[in-house]
Structure 1
Amino acid sequence: MVTIQSEAIKVLKEGHVTTPKGFTAGGLHCGIRKKRRDFGWIHSVTPAVAAGVYTMNVFQAAPLKVTRRAINETSHLQAIIVNSGIANACTGKQGDLDAEEMQKNAAAKLNIPANHVAIASTGLIGSPLPMEKINKAIHGITIDKEANPQHFEDAILTTDTVTKHVAVQLEVDGKTITIGGAAKGSGMIHPNMATMLGFITTDAAIEAESLQLALKQTTDTTFNMITVDGDCSTNDMVLVMANGQQENHPLNQSHPQWSLFVDALKMVSEELAKMIARDGEGASKLIEVKVTGAPTQDAASHVAKAVISSNLVKTAVYGADPNWGRIICAVGYSEQPVNPDKVCIEIGEIPVVKEGIPVAFDELDGKQYLQQDNITLHVNLQDGPYKATAWGCDLTYDYVKINASYRT
């Protein structure tokens, strides 16, 4: 599925968050969920420079607040603790205390400072954490080489149907640098970080401010360009840990290989983002919207988001209906400076609109194309040099079934 191409960046066939040197991860079942693993952790052999981006929802969950505070205090993390099944969101003062207790107890177990531990939770909103079960799970954390990153990937899932992981390698200062990542997300996903958790590790040495900048830049064009259902959650974040185990010269914007590192980070982020979009609740197809010819970068991004977020577009793709009117309608309500007399649209490689006017095409060809698993919609505004890509999925009957019975 990798679309970013670079001879200098190698995609590893089996890559995980523990592929970078000095990281271990694992997961176990603590009893929040009936059977599946529901508690996981990532650990670095040494404190790692850390950066984070967070949901824009004003109802921010207790674990997110604890994690943001930890990174702001030291710019370092050595461990990430995650539970699934209960989000610890909208749980008041007790929720804050529970998140702080998780952080404190994990730090004691790992013999590290409390503000070197990040906390993440995902699942049902409004329910308190079963702290007896959580604390028992913390006691079961192991950080030896026998820990299993696949157990971590499984432990963080909610309604996801598959685990999501990727790793790449590149050369920096003659050192082999690895970036690995894992994520969860299937529903309540919309641009500006929502119902997804992303965890990225690297053994590169990098300055803290530069890592935060790189994460923010890559998030804007990857995780913030996906949608499943337009809902924005309370808990979600992407965290990066860089432990410097390869001992390269610390990366920053002045480093000659800075742009290569950012490209590699973007590759990991984009692949995880696309995996999330493809695994949307009930989804059967991945949809990619490519906007070109925009007068500004914001215009390109907003038009792409408008099209990928349209429920009418998503249902048309599900039904294999080449109804280009739904696409052009979304372009029109994107609130961007669009000239209707210039817009061109293609479904796959099939032109359907040229300069605002319908193009005759074989409906059967359009239908056959939309029956594929991966769909690309092209929108050319013909009004500037800027472009953007957004990812999402079709909207199916199963999405309604999954969300109608989420609590029961």
Structure 2
Amino acid sequence: MKNPKGFLWAGMQAGIKPNRKDLALVYSDAPCSAAGCFTQNLAKAAPVIDAEKRLPSDGIRAVVINSGNANALTGPEGLEDVRTVCDAVGKALQIPISAVVSASTGVIGHRLPAHKIVAAAPSLAASLKGDAMPAAEAIMTTDTRVKVASRMVQIDGKDVTLACICKGSGMIAPSLATMIAVVATDCAITPPMLGGALNKAMRRSFNALTVDGDMSTNDVVFALANGLAGNAPIADPGPALETFGAALDDICKQMAKEIAADGEGATKLLDISVQGAPSEDIAVDLAKACAGSSLVKAAIFGADPNWGRVLASMGARAGTAGYAIDPADARVTVQEVAVYDRAPLAYDASVLKARMREPECKVHVDLRRGAGTGQAWGCDLSYDYVKINADYTSLIVPRPDGGVAKDDRLSNYSPTFKVQLLVDALGYIKKFSGTRCVIKYGGAAMVKESLKKSFCDDIGLLRSVGLRPVVVHGGGPEITRTLEKLGGKAEFIDGQRVTNASDVKVVEMVLTGSINTELVTLLNQEGVAHAVGVSGVTRINKDFLEMLLQQGYVPIISPVGLGEDGQSYNINADTVAAEVAIAIGAQKLIYLSDVPGILKGGELIGQLTTKDVEALIADGTISGGMIAKARSILKVLASGVPNVHMLDGRVPHSIIGELFTDRGVGSWISA
């Protein structure tokens, strides 16, 4: 990410949240024109109340943001805590308290532990640097990914840079959407012009975003402009303002889409576009109504091209708002497939259903009532959304140090649930005790914190009931992101990564130095004793793995191999997992990825034989990158491993659900 001149960033752990960064700072070397957009929720958090009174302004130098505590509905003490925090940060930076604004995100109704931020302020200020990533990490709550972006434009012959950090995942509704964002720019622009450009950008980005229809108490977008780019100050409308505004629009739209894609429990981004509306405002409003419809969102989750729900949601909004449209006269496409045009259309449901399982689902509606166009973003509504939010505060408990934590022990769930869980599992526990299983760990399960936790719990349970698990992890998405940050480019042939000599060190750093180390640490922290990292092998050393398993270790294998020439090689993790399973005589090989299993016509096939897999390859159902995985599965089965399972790693505890329940949750392939 390109950094605007004069801006520095920092992020650290102050102890508001356990084991994660929770305090961020954005600082400018020069006073900034500053503007803000704030939640329209009347139950505003204390930092929102404070900042809303003070912006726009021309003297702001710093924004301090904490996560883990919203400082909302905390009474006069909340405002006192805001002043305490801003004063401490101002002193650490040697700037006036009036030059500091703040924001908070997290649990509502608990007093902010301001003393922790005061204690951390000097270290936070001392850690400022030109890298925005630590700050972006520190503002995350239920986010599963860091959200940063930058843009560069030329104004008056000067390079002007905009950079943005953002958080948002749940309680997302228009005006603003639940989120905190800071846009920093070195453009010279007056506060009124900056505020106007920000308001305009909001309308087409964050205000066109919905995840669950609930507006947060803490929404805020700050824009800071320090003028160090050296362009002539933008004080009036004109070409310079249009150029700056277009860049601001673009960066905000990117952030809005990233929030929608990262919605709590989301499995896919929902992109709703409307044309032919009486006006642009109406088009945007109808798109938001559709993106926010629980019925539409549930249909998208189930890959159901239910155009009726799309038109019904827009018709309902138009009816209450008095818009002059007729949904029956519309044309609807889903993933660019026409499904309705003044009447239902015939289409290949199996093909469309399969396309709707892609990470992004686009719905387009032409109302044929004017020239207005608009767009809105949201996400699907999954089981995980309910799980994340059903117990959000009931399981929040105070910590001795004044912070809060989540108590999600099994004891909090109903006796009926626990009894059924044990009854289902008991027979399988007896059957599998003492057996070996190899698990290929990849996809979203490696990214989302909640999924990492459930994976570690699953490994712990497997070990506790007598199974002997071996984990082989991937890391493709992280490798790709790291390469791109370093100016490299990922190359694939038939779905397989091709790693050149110059990229091997990056791959080794990511797989062994980062992912493997983190996974071993997490497993040991979660009580999976003796998890041990393994990498750099020249061959599958059966005796070594046997020794580890016999002594109670859980091998965590990084797919970085050491060739006979002494060079490191990036080996496909699926291949490594298959060879390990064959070598140790595993009873089960489990693949975790971002697909539910083997699909035909968009539907999951729960149980298959080798002949079924061969037939699916022959008829083209299994194609592309899946062919290599399927052939690997056939080789494993032919080599004596009796069972292979393909599971959706995006589903919490999918390993336990597959192995220890009657129905299973993925595809089970046997000889």
TM range (shorter): over 0.9
| Further displaced range: 138-147 or 113-122 | 138-147
Aligned residue number for residue 591 of structure 2:
none
Aligned residue number for residue 142 of structure 2:
159
Matched, 1:404 2:387: no
Aligned residue number for residue 118 of structure 2:
135
Choose the corresponding residue for 1:112, options 89, 95, 115. Answer: 95
SS in 1 for 2:231: coil
Check the 8 A contact 1:70/1:116 in 2, yes or no. no
Matched, 1:43 2:30: no
Check the 8 A contact 1:296/1:384 in 2, yes or no. yes
AA matched with 2:373:
K
Aligned residue number for residue 616 of structure 2:
none
Aligned residue number for residue 352 of structure 1:
339
Check the 8 A contact 2:272/2:363 in 1, yes or no. yes
Matched, 1:339 2:322: no
CA offset digits 1:143-177 (Å, max 9, x no partner): 56646421111110100000100001111111111
What is the Cα deviation at residue 254 of structure 1? 3.5
Choose the corresponding residue for 2:38, options 54, 59, 66. Answer: 54
Aligned residue number for residue 15 of structure 2:
31
Change over 3 Å in CA distance of 1:53–1:145 after alignment to 2: closer
| Further displaced range: 385-394 or 97-106 | 97-106
Distance 1:138 1:330 in 2: 48
Aligned residue number for residue 383 of structure 1:
369
When the two structures are superposed, what TM-score results if normalisation uses the length of structure 1?
Answer: 0.93
What is the Cα deviation at residue 334 of structure 1? 1.1
Q: Specify which structure has the bigger relative contact order, considering alpha-carbon pairs within 8 angstroms and separated by 6 or more residues.
A: 1
Change over 3 Å in CA distance of 1:292–1:107 after alignment to 2: same
What is the Cα deviation at residue 372 of structure 1? 0.8
SS in 1 for 2:184: strand
What is the Cα deviation at residue 257 of structure 1? 2.5
Aligned residue number for residue 208 of structure 1:
191
What is the Cα deviation at residue 84 of structure 1? 0.4
CA offset digits 1:54-99 (Å, max 9, x no partner): 0010011101111122324x34310000000000000001111111
What is the Cα deviation at residue 359 of structure 1? 1.3
Distance 1:204 1:334 in 2: 40
Distance 2:7 2:359 in 1: 35
CA offset digits 1:293-342 (Å, max 9, x no partner): 00012211111011100111111111111111111111110123212342
Aligned residue number for residue 125 of structure 1:
108
Choose 1 or 2 for highest CA Rg.
Answer: 2
Distance 1:113 1:393 in 2: 42
When the two structures are superposed, what TM-score results if normalisation uses the length of structure 2?
Answer: 0.57
AA matched with 1:107:
G
Check the 8 A contact 1:194/1:235 in 2, yes or no. no
SS in 2 for 1:248: coil
Distance 1:276 1:69 in 2: 27
Check the 8 A contact 2:171/2:216 in 1, yes or no. yes
SS in 2 for 1:89: coil
Distance 2:142 2:106 in 1: 9
AA matched with 2:219:
D
Q: How many residues align?
A: 390
Which structure: greater helix fraction? 2
Aligned residue number for residue 8 of structure 1:
none
SS in 2 for 1:168: strand
Distance 2:379 2:75 in 1: 34
RMSD: 1.3
Check the 8 A contact 2:314/2:327 in 1, yes or no. no
Check the 8 A contact 2:10/2:127 in 1, yes or no. no
Change over 3 Å in CA distance of 1:368–1:145 after alignment to 2: same
Check the 8 A contact 2:64/2:100 in 1, yes or no. yes
Aligned residue number for residue 247 of structure 1:
230
Distance 1:166 1:174 in 2: 23
Choose the corresponding residue for 2:310, options 319, 323, 327. Answer: 327
Aligned residue number for residue 169 of structure 1:
152
What is the Cα deviation at residue 194 of structure 1? 3.0
Choose the corresponding residue for 2:255, options 263, 269, 272. Answer: 272
Percent sequence identity over aligned pairs: 39
Check the 8 A contact 1:71/1:77 in 2, yes or no. no
AA matched with 2:357:
Q
SS in 1 for 2:256: helix
AA matched with 2:6:
G
